[in-house]
Structure 1
Amino acid sequence: MTPRQTSHRRADAQRSRAAILDAAVRLLNTRPDASVEAIAAAAGVTRQTVYAHFPSREQLLTAALDRVSEEAVAAMDAAGLDTGPATDALLRLLDASSRTAGRYPVLLQKISQLTVDPHTDHDRHAPVADRLRRVIQRGQETGEFDGRLSPDWLVAVTITLGHTAGGEIDAGRMSGKDAAEALHTSVLRVLGAVAPAEDPTGE
């Protein structure tokens, strides 16, 4: 096989993998028990092609979660985390994450039932944790956040509170709006910050 043929084959494999993940995220968010055959059909590939990329349904679900996580991180990066007060940047980060999760409620609830080893869970949260840590450290340096607690501890607490907010929404005990407000208030209190006052003009 020539280098060009190898390159084409690799590109074809990447395209089919992306198509499978796109179909899986889309389909599983409406039909969480959709079969591999249904996902293959939605992706325009064969069942065998799906299994060539993802040997088990659990691996496909995990990859779908990684795709959603990548989307959330991209949304966070687009939120301008290094601009303006750290308090505002933190709230923008939380909202960006919540908006992404809100687009895939059924899929994320299904995936949450999977058993994940601690190392994998840590790696998946690492990009989010890195961005949270960056904003929190900036806030501590400017005096917006209490500097007596370690950034790592504050990151862990913030992620846990985010999961709690999502769980309340999934259980139907809180609306998305109420959960977001509760998350904002709780995180800012943990950080020793005060929520920004609303502009009475609404601007």
Structure 2
Amino acid sequence: MGDTLDSAKAARPRRSDARRSIDAILNAARIVLGERLDASMEEIATRANVTRQTVYAHFPSRDALIAALIEGAAAEYLALLDDAELDTAPPADALAAFLDAGWRFIGRYPLILNPTLTGIPRPKTNDPHDVVPPRLERLIQRGQRAGDFDRSAPAGWLAAAVIGLQHAAAAEIAGGRLTADEAAALCLQSTLRLCGSGGTSANPR
């Protein structure tokens, strides 16, 4: 019995150490790959302050590491949307908060703006492609019912257009044609006008 308890106690610190290593590696990958997508596993290990062997012990390949990073990024993005009060804030403010969550996410994960990031599998859970459009559509429908947004266009169409606007603005940042602040301001203004709110919000970025 005593041996079993001792083994359980020893296993807990090992699991805790492993979790810390994984978190450090993923955070290092987020930063290093955001600066240069072709960074090596060795560079990521150095940034994480672990050995290269430790990185490979948790992530058998570079693709596996990037896939795990994307999985975690998706969860973080949805958490940002949860904090944005999309279902309760005044519709125009909620729409601004929706966009702001996207910009904060991009600021934390600049690698997603890299046009050479291709062939990466979509997240297995909480895929923003599946989860985000319905949430935005629900927000727009709420604004239409309240009379804050234009009712002449389907909410699904407006949601797709808003997402497209933010993607276009992000591409302008990636291409160096706009700063992040310029792109965010133009995207918000265009989005509010698209939805028929008059281009104003009480909560601009």
Q: CA separation in 2, counterparts of 1:134 and 1:177?
A: 27
Contact residue 54 and residue 60 of structure 1 kept, 8 A? yes
Tell me which residue corresponds to 1:152: 156
Residue type of the partner of 2:62? R
Contact residue 150 and residue 197 of structure 2 kept, 8 A? yes
Identical-pair percentage:
44
Q: CA separation in 1, counterparts of 2:123 and 2:77?
A: 20
1:37-116 mapped onto 2 (5 Å cutoff) = 37-105=42-110, 107-110=111-114, 113-116=117-120
2:188 to 179, 184, 191: 184
Tell me which residue corresponds to 1:30: 35
Q: How many pairs align?
A: 198
Task: Give the structure-2-normalised TM-score.
Answer: 0.77
Tell me which residue corresponds to 1:167: 171
Alpha-carbon shift at residue 170 of structure 1 (Å): 0.9
Contact residue 65 and residue 111 of structure 1 kept, 8 A? no
Contact residue 71 and residue 124 of structure 2 kept, 8 A? no
Q: Which piece of structure 1 moves more, 65-74 or 172-181?
A: 65-74
Alpha-carbon shift at residue 69 of structure 1 (Å): 3.8
Task: Give the structure-1-normalised TM-score.
Answer: 0.77
1:187-202 mapped onto 2 (5 Å cutoff) = 187-196=191-200
Secondary structure at the counterpart of residue 89 of structure 1: helix
Q: CA separation in 1, counterparts of 2:192 and 2:129?
A: 20
Cα distance change on mapping 1:130 and 1:35 into 2, 3 Å: same
Cα RMSD after superposing both structures: 3.2
Tell me which residue corresponds to 2:133: 129
Q: CA separation in 1, counterparts of 2:137 and 2:33?
A: 32
Q: Which piece of structure 1 moves more, 28-37 or 188-197?
A: 188-197
Q: CA separation in 1, counterparts of 2:194 and 2:121?
A: 28
Alpha-carbon shift at residue 132 of structure 1 (Å): 1.9
Alpha-carbon shift at residue 8 of structure 1 (Å): 4.1
Secondary structure at the counterpart of residue 146 of structure 1: coil
Cα distance change on mapping 1:124 and 1:59 into 2, 3 Å: farther
Alpha-carbon shift at residue 137 of structure 1 (Å): 2.6
Rg: which structure is higher?
2
Q: CA separation in 1, counterparts of 2:67 and 2:122?
A: 14
